[in-house]
Structure formats: C-alpha cells, structure tokens
Amino acid sequence: MQTILASGLCKVLGQRTALRNVDIAVEPAELVVLLGANGAGKTTLLRVLAGVLRADAGTVSIFGEGSPSSRRARMHLGYAPQSTAIYDELTVEENLAFFARMQRVASCDVPAAIDRGLEFADLVQRRSARASSLSSGMKRRLHVACAVVHQPRALLLDEPTAGVDAESCAHLVSSIDAMRRRGTAIVWSTHDATPLVELGARSMNLANGEVVS
Amino acid sequence: MIALVIALKDLRLLSRDPGAIFWALVFPLSFAVLFGAVFPSAQTRPDLEVGMSGDLSRIDALRRNGLSVTPRSKADGLANVRSGNALAEIDVTPAGVEITTDPMHAAEGGAIDAATTRAFASGLSGMPSVHRVSASPSSSPSGFAIAFPAAILWGLIGCAGAFATASIAERRAGTHARLCAAPVSAATLLGGKLIACLIACVVDSALLLVIARVAFGVPFEQFSFYGLPFVILCCAICFAGITVFLGVLGKSEQSVGGAGWAVLLLFAMIGGAMVPLSTMPHWLREASSVSPVKWGIVALEGATFRGLSFRELMPACGVLLAIGFASVAAAAARIARTTP
C-alpha cells in the first residue's frame, strides 16, 4: 500500500492555477524528488499533501486513511515548510521538545526525541544555544530535525537544503536517507537534485502546476 | 494539555522579547510614575455636572450659579458620583442640603459647595444647613492611585500588541504552517494563545498593582477582597480575546503592527488611558463607551479608590467579558473558515 496517494489535485491561488490535475504516489522507503522552476507548484503540492492547504479538487490519502487532516495521519506525518520554521528565541533543545509535544510524543519520551533530533541535526554541542545564535545552515538542520523528531512514516520536505553549505547538505542528505532506509516515505522538493541522485530517488517534474515527466 | 504546552512556549517567547517586556511593563510603569507625579490628587473638570434629588425648587438658582444640574433619584445620583459620572449629588430635604462629592475632585467639590450655598442663600429667608460628604471610602486619592488604573490598561494593550504581532510572525516564519500539519486542532492552537495571553495579562496587572502598593503607597486595604481580582480577570479576558482576534485578522506583521496598534491606541485615547475620563467633556465620555479601555479603567477605578461593591462593578465587567468572548468567537469563526 502506498504511504502517500493523491490523484487529480487542482488548486487555484488567486488568478493563478497552482496545481492542475496532479497525481502522486509514494511507497514506503521511497524518495520522490519534486523538481521545477519557481512557481511550478512544488510548494503548493507539499502544502496540500501536508493538509495545510485544501485542494479545490482531487483526493489525498495518507497511509490509506483518507484526508491528511485526520489526526491519525498527522501523527505519522513530518512536514518541513520552505521557510525556516523554528522559534529563534527558544533554544535548540526547547524547539525540539516543543515540536515533539506538538506531534504527540509522550512527555516521558521527549528527552529521547530531543537526543535523536540533536543527533540528526548534528547540534549536540549546541543544545542549550538559542536558535537565533545559530548559523543559517545550523538553523536549517534544526528546522528539518523538528520535522522528524517524532520519527514520521511520511516526510514532506520543502527545499530543506536551500542556503545550506555543502557539508551541512551532505549531513542532511545522509540523515534523511537513513530514515528512508528505515521505511519512511519521503517527498523532497528542490531546484537541485544533484545530491539525491546517488540515493536512487524518483524524480517528478512540475511546470505551471502540471506533472511534465 | 497541548494548549498548555503552546501557552508555555508563548510565555517563554514573550519573556525573552525585550520589546514586548518594555510595552507590557516598563512603559505602563513609566506612564504611572510620570502622570502620577504630574496629576495633583484633585483634578479639574470642564463642566460642574451634578445631580439633584429631593426638593427641586432651587434647581434654576443652582444653574444660575454655574452648575450643570440633572434631576435624579438620590440612589441614581449617588451611584453616578461613585462611578465618576457626576461630580456631586445634591439632596435637598427639609432637614438641610447634603452634597455628596467625588473625592477625586476636591477643588470642584469646594466650588459646588460655594455655588450651592449662594443658590440657597439668595431669595430665602432662612439659610438651610449645607454639609458635604465623600462618596467613596478614599477621601482624596493620590495622583498615583488615579494614574495606575490607566497604567494597567497600557500594560494590557502592550500584552495584546505583543501577542498579536507574535501570532502573525509565526505565520510568516512558517511555524504556524508546521503546527497546522501537526495533530493539533485549530481550537487547541487558539486556546494555547488565549491561555498564554490571559496569564501574561493577569501577571502584568498584578505586578503593576504590587508596584503601586509597595513603591507608591497606593492603598488597597479598603477594597473588596474579590472585586479587584475579578476586575483584573475580566480585563485580561477582554484583552486576550482582542489579541487572538487581531492575531487571526492581520496577514502581515506590518498590518497588525500598524492597523492593530492604531486601533488599540484609539481605544486608549478615547478610553481614558491618555487623558483621564473625568476630565473629558460630556460628549467624549459618552463616545468613549465603545472603547474597552474605558470599561477597564472604570472597573479598575471602581475596584480601587472608588471602593465600588461587587454589584456596582458588574456593568463594566459585563462589557469587558462580552467584548472578550465576542472577540474569541470571531477569531474562532475566522479560523474555522480558513483552516482545511
């Protein structure tokens, strides 16, 4: 059974058609790379899959349970939006703890989730630092770590390596690939698929809201 | 439980934001200190508005002597004076004339006393006895006692502005989108914000009251044990409601920072947080009823130096609660409309 299955997705944003009859299916342990120019519809597609945006037409099913808005689907879904969505005035540890609690990680399991997140982001040494004091690459790693702190079965990443240096990028790619090998289905939106080629990722090209290849 | 986690996060963010701390605490305190020092304990008022009950035969004589007289029952007149809506109540009985004055306006009390004496002396063979009593337990509140209710309202406005701006910043930064994708309902997200703002408003008000008592000697001993906490809670509910409404209404920090603050400042201006309500002309005091700041000040003054009973505080508190709940309902309706 596909982890993520969507068909016939359409979405109009203002005067612009952001998605036009888009189908996507992602198997467990599969990495799908969304490629396309700015405005191609990558972010809109991820927002619809994450349940943050409602499609005008079409259906989305996560884990075969229907809507991504359902609580059960959301508990196993990780979403890292395009902007660096962390709280600058919280520490690294507090950010991870907060998003773990939001993903319904039990209080007693939060310390372990924080440790996992710190390992994932390679920020063990900076656990008590305010996020505002981190470099942009570190912030980006923390941003993605907050999306995986609850060990999701499906992960939606919107340009997670944007503005990240080569070393941080390699670390992120290897951490996310480790999750994929453990069975997580991943949809990764990017302009540059070079770092993902070796991982055997399946590419999906979008242009003007349509899947072109 | 999750709402409390959200509230805790918001309070932590607030406590680490120097700008928010300034507007919520330092600015109101500076306001109270400056205005408290500038205001004498008695203020001047443009019109000498008084009520009159009992024998009304000398009402024209009182008006000729410069008083703006409205005939009322004694009970209504006393309630008006106690709530600050009139300077004095003149009750004329065969036994004499009793003038009940607002202790906040000692100078006007003297003028009303003199005008009444003149009005009753002219054209009468025998001068009735005229004596003056205070409408409130506090004989003459200090400038600080008068300034601190307005300062507390400034603190609440500061909290409301800070939380509303933070809500918009969350949407811009993407953390709101991340929370929307988490297994957390929109009601829980709204509840978390509401709890955080409520706690911040209560703590801010309580802190300012403690400073008023400890550092400026504003006396609270004579006030209702339940009245003051109840009023603070009502004010907090009102401004927490306004905060979540502003937070869901604006689309950018600029719109909330601009339009939101403009609305709050307008409320403050006509509501008596800049210039005391008691010094405003009659028409402006009537117009100020649209401002939650006015009802907050009326309730806080009532629960502090005016010494109003719980029942007398209810109209102002009722308006504050109504505004708070209506704002939360409006915010919830908007979220329900915009959330997938």
The answer to whether A89 contacts B5, with C-beta atoms less than 8 Å apart, is: no
Q: What is the pTM of this model?
A: 0.74
CB burial readout B250-273, b (16+ within 10 A) else e = beebeebbeebbeebeebbebbbb
More confident residue, B63 or A189: A189
Note the pLDDT of residue B42: 47
Which chain B residues contact residue A144 at CB under 8 A?
none
Closest A-chain CA to B15: A89
Dihedral sign, Cα of residue B283, residue B284, residue B290, residue B295: negative
More confident residue, B45 or A125: A125
Flag whether residue A182 sits within 8 Å of chain B, measured between CB atoms: no
The answer to whether B12 contacts A79, with C-beta atoms less than 8 Å apart, is: no
Note the pLDDT of residue B265: 82
Residue B260 CB contacts under 8 Å (≥ 6 apart), including other chains: B161, B164, B165, B246, B249, B250
Q: How far is A7 from chain B (nearest CA, A)?
A: 18
Mean pLDDT, chain A, whole residue set? 88
CB burial readout B224-243, b (16+ within 10 A) else e = beebbebbbbbbbbbbbbbb
| Number of other CB atoms surrounding residue B35 within 10 Å | 20
More confident residue, B193 or A146: A146
Which tokens go with B17? 């934001």
Closest A-chain CA to B18: A89
The answer to whether B13 contacts A90, with C-beta atoms less than 8 Å apart, is: yes
Complex ipTM: 0.85
Residue B311 binned pLDDT confidence (cut-offs 50, 70, 90): confident
Write the residue in B2, B12, B181 that is nearest to A74 by C-beta: B181
The answer to whether B340 contacts A52, with C-beta atoms less than 8 Å apart, is: yes
Note the pLDDT of residue B44: 47
Note the pLDDT of residue B39: 62
Closest A-chain CA to B189: A102
Flag whether residue B210 sits within 8 Å of chain A, measured between CB atoms: no
Residue B110 CB contacts under 8 Å (≥ 6 apart), including other chains: none
Residues 262-291 of B with CB under 8 A from A: none
List Cβ<8 Å contacts ≥24 apart for A115-119: A116/A149, A116/A151, A117/A142, A117/A145, A117/A146, A117/A148, A117/A149, A118/A92, A118/A93, A118/A145
Write the residue in B6, B12, B173 that is nearest to A90 by C-beta: B12
Mean pLDDT in residue range B229-249: 87
Note the pLDDT of residue B199: 92
Q: In angstroms, rounded to a whole number, what is the distance separating the alpha carbons of residues A22 and A162?
A: 25
CB burial readout B173-197, b (16+ within 10 A) else e = bbbbbbbbbbbbebebbbbbbbbbb
More confident residue, B97 or A91: A91
Q: How far is B158 from chain A (nearest CA, A)?
A: 19
Dihedral Cα A138, A144, A147, A153, nearest 10 deg: -140
CB burial readout B52-63, b (16+ within 10 A) else e = bbbeeebbebbe
Which chain A residues contact residue B12 at CB under 8 A?
89-90, 94
Q: Residue B267 is inside which H or E element, if any?
A: helix B261-271
pLDDT, tens digit, 9 for 90 and up, residues B26-65 = 877 777 777 766 665 544 455 678 888 888 888 888 888 7
pLDDT, tens digit, 9 for 90 and up, residues B165-179 = 888 788 888 898 888
The answer to whether B175 contacts A147, with C-beta atoms less than 8 Å apart, is: no
Dihedral sign, Cα of residue B41, residue B44, residue B49, residue B50: positive
Residues 6-25 of B with CB under 8 A from A: 6, 9, 12-13, 16-17
- Neighbouring C-alpha atoms within 13 Å toward the C-beta of B125: 0
Which chain B residues contact residue A101 at CB under 8 A?
2, 5
φ, ψ for residue B183 (rounded to 5)?
A: -75, 60
Residue B252 binned pLDDT confidence (cut-offs 50, 70, 90): low
Which chain B residues contact residue A140 at CB under 8 A?
none
Which chain A residues contact residue B17 at CB under 8 A?
89
Q: What single letter denotes the amino acid at residue A170?
A: A
Mean pLDDT in residue range B135-164: 78
Note the pLDDT of residue B95: 78
Write the residue in B2, B13, B184 that is nearest to A87 by C-beta: B13
A212: left (phi over 0), alpha (psi -120 to 50) or beta: alpha
Q: What single letter denotes the amino acid at residue B216?
A: F
pLDDT at A91 over 90: yes
Mutate to test the interface with B, among A43, A52, A148 (most CBs of B within 10 A): A52
Mean pLDDT, chain B, whole residue set? 80
Which tokens go with A131? 């996020």
More confident residue, B330 or B96: B330
pLDDT, tens digit, 9 for 90 and up, residues A27-71 = 898 889 899 888 888 999 999 998 888 888 888 888 877 777 788
Residues 116-175 of B with CB under 8 A from A: 172-175
Q: In angstroms, rounded to a whole number, what is the distance separating the alpha carbons of residues B170 and B106?
A: 51
